[in-house]
Structure 1
Amino acid sequence: MSSAETLAPDARTERRAKKIAKHLTAFSEQHGGSADGVVEYVGRAATRIVLVGADGAWGDQVAPTYAVGRRAAELAGITLHDDFEGELGLKVRTGPYEWKRMAGIQLGG
Structure 2
Amino acid sequence: MSSAETATPAAPDARAERRAKRIAKNLTAFAAQHGGSADGVVQYVGAVGTRIVVVGADGTWGDQVAPSYAVGQRAAELAGITLHADFEGELGLKVRTGAYEWKRMAGIQLGG
Shared fold by TM > 0.5?
Answer: yes
CA distance in 2, matches of 1:81, 1:65: 17
Cα deviation code 1:5-59 (max 9, x no counterpart): 7555321111110011000000000000000000000002210000000000000
Aligned sequence identity (%): 83
The residue number in structure 1 matching 2:3 is: none
CA distance in 1, matches of 2:11, 2:84: 21
Structure having the higher Rg = 2
Q: Give the structure-1-normalised TM-score.
A: 0.92
CA distance in 1, matches of 2:54, 2:14: 25
Q: Give the structure-2-normalised TM-score.
A: 0.89
Q: CA RMSD in A?
A: 1.2
Change in CA separation of 1:64 and 1:21 when aligned onto 2, cut-off 3 Å: same
Q: Which consecutive unaligned segments of at least 5 residues does structure 2 have?
A: 1-7
Match of 2:20 among 8, 17, 21: 17
CA distance in 1, matches of 2:109, 2:97: 17
CA distance in 1, matches of 2:10, 2:54: 25
Match of 1:82 among 78, 82, 85: 85
Q: Which consecutive unaligned segments of at least 5 residues does structure 1 have?
A: none
Aligned length: 105
Structure 1 residue ranges, 4+ long, deviating more than 4 angstroms after superposition: 5-8
